[in-house]
Chains A and B, each alone.
Chain A
């Protein structure tokens, strides 16, 4: 199922069938969003709340969280996360 690949979720054939039916039903239901704005050209406005930036500064000592974070990693090598190869020979 292509959507599964785009979403990076492995979908079994069985799942593909029921998920397909469900998603079609929801898509049909949500198509009324087209009715809301069909005759009005709405543009998103900047509201009372907008993105706030701060200075790019170091707020913690480098490495203080590393042990905690690495402890949660499925696979590590030294102080690094270990991942599988990205390219195959085929």
Chain B
């Protein structure tokens, strides 16, 4: 059921928040043994549901927009008094001491948090295989990954436990799992949503956003979470970027050169059929050149680990988290981190330390940041002639567990999503169709990219092309 459908029933009284949260907890109890989308389930959700049911009886349709809606939260987002693991052993027993801004806002809007979802350790990965607490399975096909790093959030929605789950997206971590699980996944304009209370991975990339079954639901939840926050100085105002108008029909640019090798043939077929339906709906489709985007992934794998190595320095075994017993302070740091971090996190910390070291800083980090600037300029030029850029969300459907052995080929799963984070623009992945793998129909997504501040345009086209066809 969508949030809109739930609300209609809540107001009519034919189905109550208590029913919804009860069904949500039951779905988790029935299915999550196999799927493992959740790291923790919150018993106090039922009490909140009782209150929400009472409030609906009193307030009717003036009740807050998310009142009684069950929500799942990626476990790198802090909820006061609840365990916040970040998918890491180093925070296995860490309890959050405050609420993230987005948690406060979801609560104020009446949402009921039913549990915390699994993720790749500190959001580093494309499959949830890097979680210290074991992988999550894709509800569409349990032999396959749900994508990542917000794989638990995607699986929670795809298995029908919640109508919406919150994820974070640093290089595609909302959009790629949405694509793999047949959902809508949305990454806002950088700064649209406060990062206060999110475990920082790449601070100049990170944004939180919803995974849902409709674009309208994604918009609703985003609008609850978005807005200026004094606790995050990078949040943007309404007028930070020039107005990006919503239109009847759009000019849509396709960076064809960027989709050559590495994209599965049937994923391209789904993509082309989406292009056809855009044309049929009256939109204009043109080719655009974004030559730098192909190299964006390389810039990402310099800038991102650089930020990771700096951000994760805080996990040192002194103030909170896992602390190893050793002789000196330095020993405690090194041993706690050596024991607490998994392989992928260590790789990125070491890589980041390398590219930031004095002899290599200019050659790597300096170049990568300059490349980001050039990519922003290139994209801004393209947006002078088109309204939206269209790509597949990922080059393949969900892959099977353990099949991506080569590190760089795993990283290439994010080829279409990473340039969006590098440049800070908003993007949405909507289901585009399915491809056959071993007699299973696997979903694949298409990605719409808009200029900075063009979030509403993405919702508008997404609703026209997806919601109206459900």
List residues of A whose CB falls within 8 A of some B CB: 3-12, 15, 18-19, 22-23, 25-27, 29-37, 40, 42-45, 47-49, 51-54, 65, 68-69, 71-75, 81, 83-88
Q: Inside 8 A of B334's CB, which chain A residues have their CB? A: 4-5, 8-10
Within residues 364 to 410 of chain B, which ones have a CB less than 8 A from any CB in chain A? 364, 367-371, 373-374, 376, 407-408
CA distance A25 to B406 in the complex (A): 10
Determine which of A23, A25, A36 lies in contact with B299 in the assembled complex, contact meaning CB atoms within 8 Å. A36
Q: Is the CB of B408 within 8 A of A84?
A: no
Determine which of A7, A40, A52, A75 lies in contact with B374 in the assembled complex, contact meaning CB atoms within 8 Å. A40
Q: Inside 8 A of A6's CB, which chain B residues have their CB? A: 353, 357
CA distance A40 to B309 in the complex (A): 28
Determine which of A5, A26, A42, A81 lies in contact with B370 in the assembled complex, contact meaning CB atoms within 8 Å. A42
Given A7-B350, A31-B298, A33-B371: A72 in contact with B319 (beta carbons within 8 A):
yes
Q: Across chains A and B, which 9 residue pairs bring their CB atoms closest together, nearest first?
A: A10-B338, A74-B323, A72-B320, A42-B370, A52-B233, A10-B334, A68-B97, A7-B353, A36-B371
Nearest-neighbour CB distance to chain B for A51, whole angstroms, equals 7
Asked if B317 is an interface residue, CB under 8 A from chain A, the answer is yes
Given A23-B351, A86-B328: A33 in contact with B97 (beta carbons within 8 A):
no
Within residues 306 to 344 of chain B, which ones have a CB less than 8 A from any CB in chain A? 309, 313, 316-323, 326-335, 337-339, 341, 343
Residue with the greatest number of chain A CB neighbours at <10 A, chosen from B191, B326, B333, B452 = B333
Asked if B302 is an interface residue, CB under 8 A from chain A, the answer is yes
CA distance A34 to B337 in the complex (A): 32
Q: Interface-forming stretch among B20-28, B53-61, B234-242, B280-288?
A: B234-242
Q: Is the CB of A85 within 8 A of B371?
A: no
Q: Inside 8 A of B299's CB, which chain A residues have their CB? A: 30, 33, 36
Asked if B416 is an interface residue, CB under 8 A from chain A, the answer is no
Given A4-B350, A19-B347, A49-B191: A54 in contact with B230 (beta carbons within 8 A):
yes
Nearest-neighbour CB distance to chain B for A54, whole angstroms, equals 7
Nearest-neighbour CB distance to chain A for B145, whole angstroms, equals 20
Asked if B363 is an interface residue, CB under 8 A from chain A, the answer is yes
Q: Inside 8 A of B452's CB, which chain A residues have their CB? A: 48
CA distance A45 to B351 in the complex (A): 26
Q: Is the CB of B317 within 8 A of A74?
A: yes
Asked if B50 is an interface residue, CB under 8 A from chain A, the answer is no
Given A15-B346, A45-B373, A73-B319: A34 in contact with B333 (beta carbons within 8 A):
no
Asked if B256 is an interface residue, CB under 8 A from chain A, the answer is no
Q: Is the CB of A8 within 8 A of B327?
A: no
Q: Is the CB of A26 within 8 A of B301?
A: yes
Given A11-B338, A33-B371: A84 in contact with B327 (beta carbons within 8 A):
yes
CA distance A84 to B408 in the complex (A): 40
Residue with the greatest number of chain B CB neighbours at <10 A, chosen from A33, A34, A88 = A33
Name which residue of chain A comes closest to B408, CB basis.
Answer: A29
Q: Inside 8 A of B302's CB, which chain A residues have their CB? A: 30, 33
Q: Inside 8 A of B370's CB, which chain A residues have their CB? A: 36-37, 42-44
CA distance A84 to B309 in the complex (A): 23
CA distance A34 to B368 in the complex (A): 8
Nearest-neighbour CB distance to chain B for A58, whole angstroms, equals 14
Residue with the greatest number of chain A CB neighbours at <10 A, chosen from B98, B320, B322 = B320
Determine which of A4, A31, A40, A83 lies in contact with B318 in the assembled complex, contact meaning CB atoms within 8 Å. A83
CA distance A77 to B22 in the complex (A): 44
Q: Is the CB of B347 within 8 A of A42?
A: no
Nearest-neighbour CB distance to chain B for A76, whole angstroms, equals 10
